[in-house]
Structure 1
Amino acid sequence: MNPARRIREEITAAIRSGEWRPGDRVPTEQELAQRYGCARATVSKALGELAAAGLVERRRKAGTFVAHPPVHSAVMAVPDLAELIAARGETYDWVLNSTKVERTREAPCPPPALRIEGVHFAAGEPFALETRFIALGEVPGAAAADFAVEAPGTWLLGHIPWTEARHVIRAVTPARGEAARLKVAARAACLELDRTTWRAGRVVTHVRQLFRGDRFDLIAEFRAGA
């Protein structure tokens, strides 16, 4: 077996088995070249192919790291990010930034609306920014909920049934502050999802979520009609 193929297969096996976890640093090109008795160019080629396959991430001047696998979500569902991230074997966390009651009609929910801002984390790294409005007229219990402990989306799915939902999905460039909070480059590709959900024709909640483009996939499956 040639060295490049051996490097690819052994690193792939270490990642697939869980021996190397997302975010772990991969040995340097020099270390791998010594381990496999080959040129650094061979190592670089193997790592480039692993990066193209989405298994590792090469960061300029920082090294090579095991990539975080993208989280997949069905387009037609209202997903619980905590469940999606946990299903990938990564630790999930939610950090609440602020809550405020909005009483103007400029909010995307009928007033009064509870505005909630926070950040979802996967494996200790920012995964998505969230700005959510909850119609307190439809969901009065939200006023007393502790959204520092439980993300509002998770709370809503557990407490309030919904009957209709509408997604608007866009590829966007984050604002400077958003890029800093997501820890991505200033002009990195991000996925913006705007979702409104209704119950019996009345708005329950509206949310804007901004995802790192390298960490989230939206997937839809279709069947041909008769």
Structure 2
Amino acid sequence: MSVTSLQSKWIVRSLLATVLILAILPTRAATLLVMGDSLSAGYGIDPQDGWVNLLAQRLDEQGASHQVINASISGETSRGGLDRLPALLEQHQPDLVLLELGANDGLRGYPVPRITTNLSRMIELSQRAGAEVILLGIQLPPNFGTRYTEPFFQQYAELADQFELRYLPFLLEGVALTDALMQDDGLHPTAAAQPQVLDNVWPLIAAALGELSS
């Protein structure tokens, strides 16, 4: 499946999720665990301005006592996340796990099957613990070459299909190609970009919380 068709599929799902948002207001408190890297840890900006903190603020505005646990670490790999996940699941018993890992593996050129295996195990552990997983995909810079970047990107869609997950193809959609919204390293979004990042993720979270409250 091409990148364009994947993004079209995501747009349709997002529109459907928006309908659910309008129809269902979450009322039951839920715990959300964010397992990510620097993109979710707020690298290079005040963490209070990061999209995860903005998510917590938006949920607070709904009136339910949702809890957002940001377990993201700058530089984290899929293996590091896998090693940390069991203890975090036991400690927090999340209803939702937002999985945003793999970018650092890709930047280091790790084999894609190894990354996929680690992400797959994290999904399985989360589901066995009773949590729904929302998978947040990422794309690599084009200088890595299509022989690597295409299967890297494709793995997220394949995992989403395999485990029937809510899935965002590209966390930085609408951000990554806008210089004003990216830091000088070209990899990390600025504080000004964080509301857009949250808006990318929000339809999936709202739909999941809506189902939990029904």
With structure 1 as the length reference, what TM-score do the two structures score? Answer: 0.26
Higher relative contact order (CA 8 A, sep 6+): 2
More strand by share: 1
Bigger CA radius of gyration: 1
With structure 2 as the length reference, what TM-score do the two structures score? Answer: 0.27
More helix by share: 2
